[in-house]
Structure formats: structure tokens, C-alpha cells
């Protein structure tokens, strides 16, 4: 059937206006008929029917059709022969897979330069506990009392750690072994953080897509694949809580935004489960349990509190609090400590707000005033009485002064080194958010501002700032590119537009801006890779230097010393060293130690310090008292070791 024949056949049923986009010009609506199915109008296949999305308020994306005959279409390469839907999906899949692969591979510098080994100090403790979990099972792990650390006191490991990281690795290990892919537990631990960084890339895409649109999501995903602020704590070998905590945090935020947008209990319950995973993985969950109530408060203050927010927050708070208390280390803190009281307060406020809204809808104005005054009096006295009783018992309002002396405030150079271009794209993203404020955008604005404050206080919290910087910069970059791409004159068709010229040389300005943006993005990537390679990929347990003739000399002294201890000392020997090396000795040398990196008992540490600083006779007495067999001392004077 020819095209003209089809047109003649369907002209009686051809609509005067497009049924999907009623504002479209009349001449273009005839194109409806030329396609065989009624929805394939230019731009139709990109946009869902108008009834579905009234709560989302997304504007329709502008799409261009390039009219071409079937003969020309046949000569195109296969990606362009597909429909726009399929091209769209292919492009998204392509960009996301490249971003995920990039995030995994950029973290592998130290594995390529040295070997697949666990870095630093804290990861060795996590590695040892994971090994114990895979060998002994979950119940032994949960009830583990370790007598090989902090001799003679011991340490209750089961109740003083966040088990999420270990449980994740052990689960992955067992799943792989079930399929007979027998990867050693050490390799699972080393490569867990890069794997989760790939998953973080995908979650960032989905989160930004919920906040703005697909193109911002793709840019944000590409940015978070390489951002040094996140890489610093998640290189291959850095087997620490932050490696999975950032993934859990962004997953919780994604599910929270979905719950806020749909108002469905299902998403609220899923958000509570993701919050439970977050609590099990990192102590930084306190940030989440304060950010989400802050968001709800901001929505109340701006008059956007609706039934959806009520459903989302009530579900998340009630289920989330109960779930968070299942972790032994958290215990009863969610109902007792001051850090969690904001969430409880906002929960109460939500209930009161909803109840007042309900009454206001039911009653007339004067009746409502009378009832409100009586109830306010009654509730006010009750709350004051309960509050007085609780304060008298001193259980709730204990403000704790956190000693942050071990973490320095952040310098500007550190901000630039860790984030580069994101530092100045972040306000652009904020501007685009404010342009079209929705419930979800308010969340990301609050998250951005609070993270900036915390990252300015402590260098370590730069990690929390990196994802939100990527999201907002993604929104900013995508906004700029979309605005200026429209002005580019790449085909002769555009010259026929009837738009009035706002300013001259539109095409040239647009080209310059887009070239500048591309230059920024390219230098961003180069910077990130350079910083990762130079600053964040050192395993700290294996050191290398250049000899006089340029050859590479590897110092493996640490491991040689630990393995000497392992092979040449009796099983129950006690080793005294400074607390830095405690975790490594228990993990690699497998001997009992006096003090380790947990530093929970300062008196015991000071005893060891006294022994190290006294004269030989006095030190010998102290060591006999502490039942020490061997002493381990680091001396870096010969090689110029920087930490000596």
C-alpha cells in the first residue's frame, strides 16, 4: 500500500487536531494519518498520555522530526534505522554501561601497580571479621567475643560493629561459591567497593531522573563515576564501611523521593528497608534520619504538606525506627538519644498537622476555632507535663559535645582537588532547581546546603558532599546544554522558524558555550583520573620508591614482619605495639595484641605508651605486668618513611 493510498483511505478518520498534543498546529496533525498506528505522531511516542502525569508536572520534551523518505532511511546505519524509542533506550543503556564500567576501572590503580591487597588499617579489621563470618556462620559472628585483642580485656565484636559490610561480602561470597565461581574472600573484599561504586552510578542516574529528567541523570551518573571525593574512600582494597554506605544512602534517598512523589505505602516501606540497610552499614545514618525530617519540615513551612508526604514520612519513620533498632550497635538510641529526637518531633508534628487539616475540612470556621483553642490548651499542658517528667529523669535532652579534634576543617584546595568543576557547577544546579521547585527539588536543595556545611567542618565528610554535588552539577550542566543546543543551526530546516530573534549571532554564541562546556567536562575527567592515580591509590602497606638508577624498589617490610611473627612465635604469644598496627597484627600475624585502632580504652593505651616512653628497666616491669612476649616497633629513619 503506498503512502498516498493510505492517506486517501484514512482521510475520513484523520483527526483535525492531534489527540495527544492538542496544541499542535493543524498542518502537522495530518502526519498522524501517515503512520499506521494512531499514536505515532511526532513527539507522541515520547510522551505518555496526558492524564497520567498531572501530579508530576513534567513539561513535554521538545522533539524534532527529520522528514525523510523510506529510500533514504534504508541507507542509514542500523542505529538510526530504529524508532526514536529504541534509539533513546540504546543511548541510555550505552552511557550508563560506560559510566558503570568506568567507575569500576578507575578504582583499580593500586591493584595494577602492586597487587590485590587490603589497604591501610581499618580495612584489615573488616577483612578479619568478614573472614570469621564466612568461616563460622552468622550466629557465632553475632555473639563473637574476641579475646585476641585488648589483652586482657577482650572486645565484644558482635555488639560494637556495623555488620552491613561484612554481611554483604559474605553473602556475595556464598552466592558466587554456590555457582562454583570460587573467588577467594580476600578478593571479594578488595573488589567490593568498586562493584558498589558501579551500582552507585546507576542509583544516581535514577535519583537524578526522579528529580529532574533523563539527561540530567546521565550527566550525574557520568560525573559520580569519576569524582575523587568518592573515589578516595572506595578504591579497590579500601574495604571500609563508606564503600557501601554511599550506595545505601543514595538508594534510601531514591526510594524516599519516589515515596514522596507517589504517596504510596509500598515505596515508603521499601525506603524503610533501604534505611535499615544504611543503618547496618555506617554510623553516618544519623545524617539521613535528620535530613528526611528536615525535608518534611521544609515542606510544611512552604505549605506543600499533603497527604502524600504524610503517608511517606509516617511509613518511613515508624518502620525505619523499628528496623534500625535491630542492629545491636544502635540499640535503643533511636528513642533515647538527642540526635534522633528531631525525627520523633517531626513525626508528632505530621500527625497533628494531618489531624488539624482533617478537622478543618470537616467543621465550619467558628466551630473549628473553639475546638482548636480547647484542644490546644489541653494538649499543651499534657506535653509540658510529660516533658518536665522526662527532663527530670534526664534521659532525653543530653546534648553530647562531639570531640572532632582528630578531623581537621576542610581547605579550599581540598574542595577543588576532590570536586574540581563541580564546585562551580553546583550553584548552577541550585538555580535550575529553584526555577521549577517541586517537592523533590526542595529535598536536594536542603541536602546540598547541609552537606556543604558538614563538609566544611570535617574533611572526612567530603564523601557525603560528593554525590549531591554530582547530582546538582548534572542538573546544571544538562540545563545549560539543553538551552544552548536548541540554538544551534545544524540543519537548513531550522532557518524557516518563525521565532523572533532575541539576540544576534545565536548560533555562534551557542557553539562557543557548548565548546566551553565540553572543555570543562574533558578537563574534569583528566583531573579526576590524575588525582585518583597520584593521591588516592596508595595501599599504605606496600610502599615503593625509585632507586638511584630509576628502577622501582618495593618495601614490603610490614608484611614480612607480620608473617615472621606468624611463623616464628608460639600461638599464644602477646605482641605489644602502638595502636596503629593492632588491626593488621591480628589479621595477618594472628597473634594476641594489647591495643588496636578501636581506641576504646584510653587508660590501656596510655599504659602501653608509658612502657614505650620509659627507660628500659621501668619499661621491662610494665611489660612483665602486662604479660607481653614480643614488642613491635616501626623505624622509618633509613628510608625516610613519612609517618615516622
Partner 1 sequence: MATSQANVFTVVSKFYDEYVTTTPQRLKIIDAYLAYIMLTGIFQFGYCLLVGTFPFNSFLSGFISCVASFVLGVCLRVQVNPQNRKDFLHISPERAFADFVFAHIILHLVVMNFIG
| Closest CA relative to residue 186, chosen from 197, 175, 172 | 172
Q: Which of 105, 116, 290, 306 binds partner 1 (CB under 8 A)?
A: 306
Q: Which helix (H) or strand (E) holds 155?
A: strand 155-156
Which DSSP string do the residues of 24-74 spell out, in sequence order? S-HHHHTHHHHSSSTT-STTGGGS--GGGGTTT-PPPPP-------HHHHH
Cα–Cα distance for residue pair 68/95, rounded to 1 Å: 27
Least separation in angstroms between residue 366's CB and partner 1 is 9
Question: Residue 55, interface with partner 1 (CB under 8 A)?
Answer: yes
Least separation in angstroms between residue 325's CB and partner 1 is 7
* Identity of the residue, 342 or 634, whose beta carbon is nearer to partner 1 in the bound complex: 342
Q: Which three cell numbers stand for residue 510?
A: 551557542
Cα–Cα distance for residue pair 139/443, rounded to 1 Å: 39
494 Cβ partners below 8 Å, 6+ apart?
none
Are 162 and 283 in contact by the 8 Å Cβ rule? The answer is: yes
* Identity of the residue, 321 or 537, whose beta carbon is nearer to partner 1 in the bound complex: 321
Q: What is the DSSP letter of 499?
A: P
* Identity of the residue, 306 or 414, whose beta carbon is nearer to partner 1 in the bound complex: 306
Question: Residue 600, interface with partner 1 (CB under 8 A)?
Answer: no
Question: Residue 310, interface with partner 1 (CB under 8 A)?
Answer: yes
Q: Which of residues 257-296 bind partner 1 (CB under 8 A)?
A: 262-266, 268-269, 272-273
Part in contact with partner 1 (CB under 8 A); list of ranges 197-205, 256-264, 281-289, 292-300: 256-264
Question: Residue 307, interface with partner 1 (CB under 8 A)?
Answer: yes
Question: Residue 117, interface with partner 1 (CB under 8 A)?
Answer: no
Q: Which of residues 417-476 bind partner 1 (CB under 8 A)?
A: none
* Identity of the residue, 330 or 477, whose beta carbon is nearer to partner 1 in the bound complex: 330
| Closest CA relative to residue 146, chosen from 623, 617, 612, 592 | 592
Q: Which of residues 357-376 bind partner 1 (CB under 8 A)?
A: 359, 361-363, 367, 370-371, 373-374
Q: Which of 91, 156, 301, 335 binds partner 1 (CB under 8 A)?
A: 335
Question: Residue 139, interface with partner 1 (CB under 8 A)?
Answer: no
Question: Residue 63, interface with partner 1 (CB under 8 A)?
Answer: no
Q: What's the full length of the chain, in residues? A: 644
Binding residue count for partner 1, defined by CB under 8 A: 39
Question: Residue 321, interface with partner 1 (CB under 8 A)?
Answer: yes
* Identity of the residue, 354 or 598, whose beta carbon is nearer to partner 1 in the bound complex: 354
Least separation in angstroms between residue 277's CB and partner 1 is 13
Give the residues across from 99 on adjacent strands: none
Kindly list the strands in the beta sheet with 574-576, ordered across the sheet, starting from the edge strand earlier in the chain.
Answer: 592-593, 574-576, 630-631
Q: Which of 326, 483, 599, 610 binds partner 1 (CB under 8 A)?
A: 326
* Identity of the residue, 179 or 332, whose beta carbon is nearer to partner 1 in the bound complex: 332
Question: Residue 323, interface with partner 1 (CB under 8 A)?
Answer: yes
Angle at which helices 462-485 and 412-419 cross, to 10°: 60
Give the Å distances, CA to CA, from 522 to 108, 350, 426, 470, 619: 21, 47, 17, 15, 59
Least separation in angstroms between residue 178's CB and partner 1 is 25
Cα–Cα distance for residue pair 553/328, rounded to 1 Å: 46
Cα–Cα distance for residue pair 236/190, rounded to 1 Å: 5
DSSP three-state, residue 399: coil
Are 202 and 246 in contact by the 8 Å Cβ rule? The answer is: no
Are 220 and 204 in contact by the 8 Å Cβ rule? The answer is: yes
Q: Which of 2, 5, 23, 52 binds partner 1 (CB under 8 A)?
A: 52
Least separation in angstroms between residue 350's CB and partner 1 is 9
Q: Which three cell numbers stand for residue 614?
A: 620509659
Least separation in angstroms between residue 169's CB and partner 1 is 23
Q: Which residues bind partner 1 (CB under 8 A)?
A: 52, 54-55, 262-266, 268-269, 272-273, 306-308, 310-311, 314-315, 318-319, 321-323, 325-326, 332, 335, 351, 354, 359, 361-363, 367, 370-371, 373-374
Amino acid at each position: 500500500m503506498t503512502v498516498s493510498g493510505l492517506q486517501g483511505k484514512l482521510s475520513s478518520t484523520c483527526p483535525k487536531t492531534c489527540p495527544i498534543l492538542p496544541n499542535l498546529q493543524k498542518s502537522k496533525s495530518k502526519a498522524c494519518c501517515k503512520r499506521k498506528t494512531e499514536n505515532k505522531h511526532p513527539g507522541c511516542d515520547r510522551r505518555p498520555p496526558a492524564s497520567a502525569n498531572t501530579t508530576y508536572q513534567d513539561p513535554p520534551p521538545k522533539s524534532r522530526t527529520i522528514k525523510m523518505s523510506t529510500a533514504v532511511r534504508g541507507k542509514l546505519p542500523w542505529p538510526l534505522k530504529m524508532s526514536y524509542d529504541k534509539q533513546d533506550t540504546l543511548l541510555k543503556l550505552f552511557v550508563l554501561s560506560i559510566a558503570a564500567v568506568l567507575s569500576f576501572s578507575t578504582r583499580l590503580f593500586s591493584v595494577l601497580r602492586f597487587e590485590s591487597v587490603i589497604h591501610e588499617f581499618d580495612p584489615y579489621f573488616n577483612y578479619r571479621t568478614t573472614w570469621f563470618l564466612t568461616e563460622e556462620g552468622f550466629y557465632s559472628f553475632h555473639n563473637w567475643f574476641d579475646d585476641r585483642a585488648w589483652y586482657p580485656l577482650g572486645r565484644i565484636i558482635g555488639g560494637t560493629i556495623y555488620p552491613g559490610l561484612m554481611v554483604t561480602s559474605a553473602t556475595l561470597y556464598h552466592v558466587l561459591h554456590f555457582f562454583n565461581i570460587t573467588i577467594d574472600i580476600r578478593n571479594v573484599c578488595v573488589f567490593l567497593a568498586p562493584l558498589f561504586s558501579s551500582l552507585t552510578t546507576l542509583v544516581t542516574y535514577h535519583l537524578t531522573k526522579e528529580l529532574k529528567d533523563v539527561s540530567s541523570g546521565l550527566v550525574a551518573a557520568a560525573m559520580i563515576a569519576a569524582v575523587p571525593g568518592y573515589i578516595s574512600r572506595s578504591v579497590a582494597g579500601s574495604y571500609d564501611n563508606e564503600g557501601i554506605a554511599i550506595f545505601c544512602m543514595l538508594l534510601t534517598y531514591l526510594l524516599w523521593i519516589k515515596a514522596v512523589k507517589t504517596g504510596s505505602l509500598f515505596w515508603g516501606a521499601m525506603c524503610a528497608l533501604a534505611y535499615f540497610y544504611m543503618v547496618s552499614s555506617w554510623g553516618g545514618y544519623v545524617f539521613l534520619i535528620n535530613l528526611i525530617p528536615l525535608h518534611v519540615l521544609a515542606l510544611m513551612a512552604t505549605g506543600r504538606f499533603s497527604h502524600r508526604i504524610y503517608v511517606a514520612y509516617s511509613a518511613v519513620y515508624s518502620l525505619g525506627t523499628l528496623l534500625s533498632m535491630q542492629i545491636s550497635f544502635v540499640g535503643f538510641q533511636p528513642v533515647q538519644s538527642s540526635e534522633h529526637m528531631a525525627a520523633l518531633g517531626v513525626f508528632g508534628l505530621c500527625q497533628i498537622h494531618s489531624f488539624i487539616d482533617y478537622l478543618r475540612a470537616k467543621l465550619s470556621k467558628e466551630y473549628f476555632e473553639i475546638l482548636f483553642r480547647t484542644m490546644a490548651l489541653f494538649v499543651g499542658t499534657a506535653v509540658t507535663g510529660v516533658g518536665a517528667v522526662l527532663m527530670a529523669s534526664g534521659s532525653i535532652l543530653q546534648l553530647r559535645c562531639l570531640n572532632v579534634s582528630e578531623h581537621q576543617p576542610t581547605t579550599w584546595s581540598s574542595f577543588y582537588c576532590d570536586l574540581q568543576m563541580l564546585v562551580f557547577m553546583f550553584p548552577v544546579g541550585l538555580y535550575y532547581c529553584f526555577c521549577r521547585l517541586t517537592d523533590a527539588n526542595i529535598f536536594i536543595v536542603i541536602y546540598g546546603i547541609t552537606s556543604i556545611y558538614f563538609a566544611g567542618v570535617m574533611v572526612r565528610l567530603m564523601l557525603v558532599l560528593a554525590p549531591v554535588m554530582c547530582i546538582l552539577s548534572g542538573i546544571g550542566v544538562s540545563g545549560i546544554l539543553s538551552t544552548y543546543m536548541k540554538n544551534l543551526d545544524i540543519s537548513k530546516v531550522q532557518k524557516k522558524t518563525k521565532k523572533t530573534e532575541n539576540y544576534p549571532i545565536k548560533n555562534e554564541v551557542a557553539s562557543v558555550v557548548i565548546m566551553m562546556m565540553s572543555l570543562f567536562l574533558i578537563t574534569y575527567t583528566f583531573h579526576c583520573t590524575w588525582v585518583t592515580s597520584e593521591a588516592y591509590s596508595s595501599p599504605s602497606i606496600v610502599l615503593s620508591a625509585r632507586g638511584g638508577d630509576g628502577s622501582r624498589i618495593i618495601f614490603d617490610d610490614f608484611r614480612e614482619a607480620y608473617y615472621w611473627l606468624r611463623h616464628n612465635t608460639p600461638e599464644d604469644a602477646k605482641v605489644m605495639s602502638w595502636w596503629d598496627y593492632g588491626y593488621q597484627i591480628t589479621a595477618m600475624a594472628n597473634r594476641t595484641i594489647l591495643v588496636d585502632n578501636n581506641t576504646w580504652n584510653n587508660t590501656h593505651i596510655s599504659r602501653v605508651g608509658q612502657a614505650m616512653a620509659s627507660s628500659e628497666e621501668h619499661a621491662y616491669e610494665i611489660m612483665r605486668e602486662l604479660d607481653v612476649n614480643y614488642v613491635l616497633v616501626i623505624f622509618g629513619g633509613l628510608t625516610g618513611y613519612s609517618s615516622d
